[in-house]
Structure formats: C-alpha cells, structure tokens
C-alpha cells in the first residue's frame, strides 16, 4: 500500500480527471493517459459482469512506466522532456508513441483471445524501438507494472513452481517459470513465459525499490515492503536487454498477458496446460534450450541448423516476423553462454 501526503493526493486526483483513451473488447479493457501515455489494464468482473476491475494500480497511472536505454542513457517515458507523447486508437487496441528528434518508442496494446474463450481475454503488448539517428545505437527497454491483485491476500505472485511469493525474485531465460500470475479475489493477470516472445529478465519486487532503481535490479530482498513508504506493495519489472538497432531501423519486443478468474483457479488451469494463446509459440525449433549436456556431434548439428535458419531469415528478410527474430536472438545467446561455460 502506497502512502501519499495530502498535496500529492490532490495532484493525483487532478491527473485522474484528465482525458484518457479508453478501449475495450470481450473481458478486457485498456486506458492510456493522453498526457503522459501511461496505460492501465482492466478485466471484467467475471462473477457479476457489471464492472471492470483494474488489473494494475490505477489511483496514479504514473506508477507503471517505461524506461528506454539508448547508448547507456536512460529516459523515463512520459516524464523525459525529450520525448513527445501521442496516444491513438488502433484496430484491436491502442498505441502510445513516445518520439524525440532521433528516436521513438511505440507501445502497442492489442486484445487477444485464448483457446478456451470465445471473446478477447488478454493483451499482447509490443514495444517498437526506432532509431532515426544517422548512426547505430544500443537500445533496451524496461517496463515497470505496478501489480495490485495479489496484495490483499499476501500471495502477491504465483507460478507453476509456487503458489505464493514471500520474497523478491529475479528470473532470466535459464530459470523462467511457465507463467507468473498476480491473482486477486475477482480477477488475475498472468504473464506468459513458456514460449517466445517474452522478456529477457523478469523481476518481482517491492514497487518503490524497483521504481527507484535506474535500470538493473540486482539485489532481491525478503518481502514486498519498504517501511514506511511502500508497505505490502509488489511490482513486476520486464527487461529487454540492449540490442544494436541500426540507423534508420527498428526492433520489436513483445509479451503476452491473460486475464482470468481470481484465486488460484486460473493458475491451476495454466499449470494443467488447459489454456493456449494463438500466436504465442516458438517460431524456430532449431536450437531448443538444452536440459542435459550434449556431446560435440549434437552441438555441431545444432550450430549447423541455426546457421541454416539465419541464412533462411536473411533470404526472406522482408517477410520475417518479430517472433522469428527473437527466437534467433535467444538461440544465439544460448550458444554464446555455452561457449563462455566451455561447453562448446
């Protein structure tokens, strides 16, 4: 729970009254503040079908935010004066564009549907990083989501590996769970991690500690409180590592969320594999993450197949999809890691 002085509360209420683009479909809804571009996700109360519940902290939309890394410089979008904000509706959702004279970040929220639903019940969130400068740049992204659903029960987060989170955690590709859910009494919000595309790193932490960190969060602590400022207050950080974006080019990162019933009912269905999402799957099977050490012959075969996949991607550059690029990048990072460990 966040604590604010009276003046801040009045400022927050003033911000809430400002215009926001509001789009909804099926059981999901998204709002974007037209001044700072910050988004709030909502899910329909599945019991009464009478109202939408905020899936993120919505008293102040500024607590969920994006930070872009450009050649080692960090800009918190919606606050950094270099970037202008533009919010617009698209066919199945909305877009928020943050643009400077040389760079742009577009956050695209699109409604999606899982296999067990006849209507939209989730979100595909894409981030397009564009480099309009005359030189190549390193660009990365951090998304802080101020989760709230699991705070009342003290569960905070649940995955296929645990049903309650009592301490902060940092996950990377080597130890990702299949999903991370923020379960409330009425609704749940679940990040899917089993397949690509997905973030490079996910952090579960106290909101203030995470929000006050310029970039990387390297020292997880017990509990989700920072007394007296931020008590029983959890958040999720999604990180996409720096990547080279060539002059005049762009790169796209994506992640998938589902809205489900509250409690651990939806978590159980996810564990049992009953819920699937179209489009959320590995695009390449050339180099799956190894579960056991492999001999040299198998490693050589993996490298050969990966090189063939890269050649095919180059030949079909105009039609290659973002998921294919992310799968190739993940496979290359895996091989690089094995090389550093002396397994290649």
Q: Is the pLDDT of residue 119 over 80?
A: yes
Per mean pLDDT, which range of 114-128, 224-238, 247-261, 306-320 is the poorest?
306-320
Q: What is the pLDDT of residue 66?
A: 98
Per mean pLDDT, which range of 114-123, 134-143, 321-330 is the poorest?
321-330
Q: What is the pLDDT of residue 129?
A: 98
Q: Is 303 exposed, middle or buried (0-12, 13-18, 19+ CB in 10 A)?
A: middle
Q: Is the pLDDT of residue 10 over 60?
A: no
| Model pTM score | 0.78
**How many Å from the N-terminal Cα to the C-terminal Cα in the chain?**
49
pLDDT in tens, 183-197: 999 999 999 999 889
Find the mean pLDDT for residues 255-261.
96
Q: What is the CA radius of gyration of the chain?
A: 20
Q: What is the pLDDT of residue 120?
A: 96
Q: What is the pLDDT of residue 47?
A: 79
pLDDT-based confidence at 35, cuts 50/70/90? very high
Find the mean pLDDT for residues 108-129.
96
| Between 147 and 334, residue with greater pLDDT | 147
- Got the DSSP string for 181-249? EEE-SSEEEEEE-SSSS--SEEEEEEHHHHHT-SS------BSS-BTTTBSS-EEEEEEEEEEEE-TT-
Please provide the CATH number assigned to the domain covering 6-271: 2.70.98.40
Q: What is the pLDDT of residue 63?
A: 97
Q: Is the pLDDT of residue 292 over 90?
A: no
| Between 302 and 138, residue with greater pLDDT | 138
Q: What is the pLDDT of residue 14?
A: 40
State the Cα–Cα distance between residues 39 and 62, nearest whole angstrom: 9
State the Cα–Cα distance between residues 194 and 236, nearest whole angstrom: 17
Q: What is the pLDDT of residue 164?
A: 95
Q: Is the pLDDT of residue 287 over 50?
A: no
CA 285 to chain centre: 23
| Between 206 and 15, residue with greater pLDDT | 206
Q: What is the pLDDT of residue 290?
A: 43
Find the mean pLDDT for residues 19-23.
93
**How confident is the prediction for the chain on average, in pLDDT?**
85
Per mean pLDDT, which range of 20-29, 120-129, 152-161, 308-317 is the poorest?
308-317
| Between 74 and 306, residue with greater pLDDT | 74
C-alpha distances in Å from residue 142, one per residue of 113, 201, 242:
25, 9, 10
Find the mean pLDDT for residues 314-334.
60
Q: What is the pLDDT of residue 6?
A: 42
- Give the percent of the chain with pLDDT over 90: 68
| Between 311 and 5, residue with greater pLDDT | 311
Q: What is the pLDDT of residue 170?
A: 97
| Between 236 and 8, residue with greater pLDDT | 236
Q: Would you kindly state where each structural domain of the chain is located, as residue ranges?
A: 6-271, 296-340
State the Cα–Cα distance between residues 35 and 328, nearest whole angstrom: 37
Q: Is the pLDDT of residue 313 over 80?
A: no
């Amino acid at each position: 729970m966040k604590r604010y002085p009276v003046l801040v509360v009045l400022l927050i209420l003033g911000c809430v009254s400002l215009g926001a683009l509001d789009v909804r479909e099926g059981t999901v809804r998204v709002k974007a503040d037209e001044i700072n571009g910050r988004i709030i996700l909502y899910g329909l109360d599945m019991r009464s079908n009478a109202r939408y519940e905020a899936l993120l902290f919505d008293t102040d939309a500024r607590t969920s935010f994006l930070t872009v890394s450009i050649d080692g410089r960090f800009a918190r979008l919606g606050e950094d004066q270099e970037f202008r904000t533009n919010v617009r509706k698209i066919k199945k959702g909305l877009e928020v564009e943050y643009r400077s004279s040389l760079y742009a970040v577009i956050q695209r929220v699109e409604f999606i549907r899982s296999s067990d639903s006849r209507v939209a019940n989730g979100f595909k969130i894409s981030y397009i990083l564009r480099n309009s400068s005359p030189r190549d740049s390193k660009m990365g992204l951090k998304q802080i989501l101020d989760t709230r659903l699991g705070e009342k029960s003290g569960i905070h987060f649940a995955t296929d590996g645990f049903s309650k989170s009592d301490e902060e955690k940092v996950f990377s590709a080597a130890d990702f769970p299949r999903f991370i859910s923020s379960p409330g009494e009425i609704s749940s919000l679940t990040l899917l991690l089993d397949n690509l595309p997905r973030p490079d790193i996910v952090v579960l932490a106290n909101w203030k500690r995470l929000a006050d960190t310029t970039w990387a969060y390297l020292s997880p602590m017990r509990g989700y409180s920072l007394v007296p400022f931020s008590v029983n207050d959890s958040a999720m950080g999604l990180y996409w590592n720096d990547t080279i974006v060539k002059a005049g080019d762009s790169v796209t990162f994506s992640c998938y969320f589902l809205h489900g019933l509250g409690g651990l009912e939806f978590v159980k269905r996810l564990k049992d594999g009953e819920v699937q999402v179209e489009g959320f799957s590995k695009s390449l099977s050339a180099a799956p993450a190894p579960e056991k050490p492999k001999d040299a012959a198998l490693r050589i075969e993996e490298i050969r197949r990966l090189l063939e996949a890269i050649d095919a991607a180059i030949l079909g550059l105009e039609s290659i999809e973002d998921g294919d690029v992310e799968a190739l990048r993940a496979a290359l990072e895996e091989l690089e890691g094995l090389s550093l460990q002396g397994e290649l």
